[in-house]
């Protein structure tokens, strides 16, 4: 079955919860062990001190480490991206920060596409720098030679540990060629990870892991949450890499809580319907804007012309244009503010 069908029940059994067809909200801080030996065994597995034995239940310990609404959510998230494992966080920034802290060390260089979501940009340029990690940016949408040159420049500064890509970029919708970044990372060394922030098109219309990326990151606050009532994030990838990120999460304490986990399970059931409708609406809005004299330029993937190098990247790695639009309006800040302050249905949020 496809992920949208599996969102109703995958990873949950009613006999765990007195027959309830929906997973309850397991609003508990901690879990009881049947014996001291069982508690010891659970901790050994959770802390990575040993692999679980064949068929061994890894066991619930404490809601910062694991809880049912979290584990069902993580299992369901893997389906969309075809990931081996997922780890969920209390925000997109928590997912990004915890992942970066797992793989970057003082002296390392991280090459990243530009622009980035503002919070991520701040993390790179004002927080990681305090820990001796050097960010080097390249412009999203620049030709392959420019990306190759950026890799060379980054490697001259220190050990290149990661290529971090946000594609499409917030807010310009500029695309970065994921397969190119994967090739350059592999040429630079086995332990150079490629991480992709897939918030703008995923998990429906872009699958970076299938293009060779090591890690996929999400702000689940957006499409996945979908109701503007929660903040959450996720990191997906191979079981091996994700278990390292999970260990970081345990000690930073950036775990999704039971209530948010439950809200996301609710949201995932309708995600494909919502995202598909949002995409259809976005096309109408983008077409309308493109025909208006007040609008200088519309940044929308569905309008990329044939022959544009960005169109070639789009055709290779995106399955649909999604719902994100930005546009430049004539008249500078005054013109933009006049437009914004005249909006009636859309909040300035
Ligand atoms: N990545 C992108 C592309 C975003 O737009 C955002 C938030 O706007 C984030 C990451 C951060 O996510 P969160 O706000 O859930 O921490």
- State residue 68's pLDDT score: 97
**Residues above pLDDT 70, as percent of the chain:** 100
State the angle between helix axes of 258-290 and 68-81 in degrees (0 to 180), rounded to the nearest 10.
Answer: 30
How far, in Å, is the centroid of ligand 1 from the Cα of 289?
25
CA 221 – ligand 1 centroid, Å = 7
Q: Average pLDDT, stretch 284-289?
A: 98
Bridge-partner residues for 112, per DSSP?
Answer: 137, 164
pLDDT tens digits for range 327-340 = 999 999 999 999 99
Q: For 180-223, how does the pLDDT look when each residue is reduced to its tens digit (9 = 90+)?
A: 999 999 999 999 999 999 999 999 999 999 999 999 999 999 99
Burial of 273 (0-12, 13-18, 19+ CB in 10 A): exposed
C-alpha 111/C-alpha 104 separation (Å) is 12
Q: Give how far Cα 105 sits from Cα of 80, 125, 159, 205, Å.
A: 31, 15, 9, 33
Mutate to test the pocket of ligand 1, among 89, 96, 117 (most ligand atoms within 8 A of CB): 117
pLDDT score at 150: 98
Give the model confidence (pLDDT) of 103-133 as tens digits.
999 999 999 999 999 999 999 999 999 999 9
Mean pLDDT of 281-294: 97
Distance CA 52, CA 58 (A): 7
Q: Which residue has the higher pLDDT, 49 or 64?
A: 64
Sequential DSSP letters for 204-219: TS--GGGGT-SEEEEE
Indicate whether 52 pLDDT > 90: no
Q: Which residues line ligand 1 (CB under 6 A)?
A: 91-93, 117, 119-120, 166, 170, 197, 199-200, 219, 221, 231, 233
- Whether the model clears a pTM of 0.75, i.e. scores above it, the answer is yes
Burial label, 332 (beta-carbon count in 10 A; 0-12, 13-18, 19+): exposed
Give the pLDDT confidence score for residue 67 in this predicted structure.
Answer: 97
């Amino acid at each position: 079955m496809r992920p949208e069908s599996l969102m109703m029940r995958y990873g949950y059994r009613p006999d765990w919860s007195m027959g309830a067809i929906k997973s309850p909200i397991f609003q508990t801080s901690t879990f009881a062990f049947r014996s001291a030996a069982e508690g010891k065994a659970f901790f050994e597995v959770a802390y990575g001190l040993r692999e679980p034995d064949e068929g061994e239940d890894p066991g619930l310990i404490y809601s910062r480490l694991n809880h049912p609404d979290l584990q069902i959510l993580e299992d369901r998230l893997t389906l969309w991206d075809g990931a081996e494992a997922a780890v969920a966080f209390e925000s997109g920034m928590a997912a990004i920060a915890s992942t970066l802290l797992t793989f970057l060390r003082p002296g390392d260089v991280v090459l990243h596409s530009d622009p980035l979501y503002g919070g991520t940009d701040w993390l790179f340029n004002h927080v990681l720098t305090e820990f001796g990690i050097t960010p080097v940016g390249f412009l999203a949408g620049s030709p392959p030679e420019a990306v190759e040159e950026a890799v060379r420049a980054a490697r001259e500064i220190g050990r290149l540990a990661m290529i971090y890509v946000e594609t499409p970029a917030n807010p310009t919708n500029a695309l970065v060629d994921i397969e190119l970044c994967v090739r350059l990372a592999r040429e630079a060394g086995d332990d150079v990870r490629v991480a992709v922030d897939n918030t703008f098109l995923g998990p429906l219309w872009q699958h970076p892991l299938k293009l060779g990326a090591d890690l996929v990151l999400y702000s689940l606050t957006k499409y996945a949450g979908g109701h503007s009532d929660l903040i959450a994030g996720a990191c997906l990838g191979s079981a091996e890499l994700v278990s390292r990120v999970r260990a970081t999460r345990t000690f930073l304490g950036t775990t999704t809580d039971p209530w948010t986990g439950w809200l996301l399970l609710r949201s995932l059931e309708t995600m494909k319907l919502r995202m598909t409708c949002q995409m259809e609406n976005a096309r109408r809005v983008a077409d309308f804007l493109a025909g208006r004299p007040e609008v200088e330029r519309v940044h929308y993937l569905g309008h990329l012309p044939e022959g544009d190098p960005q169109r070639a990247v789009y055709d290779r790695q995106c399955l649909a244009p999604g719902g994100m639009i930005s546009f430049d309006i004539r008249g500078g800040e005054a013109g933009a503010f006049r437009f914004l302050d005249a909006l009636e249905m859309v909040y300035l949020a």
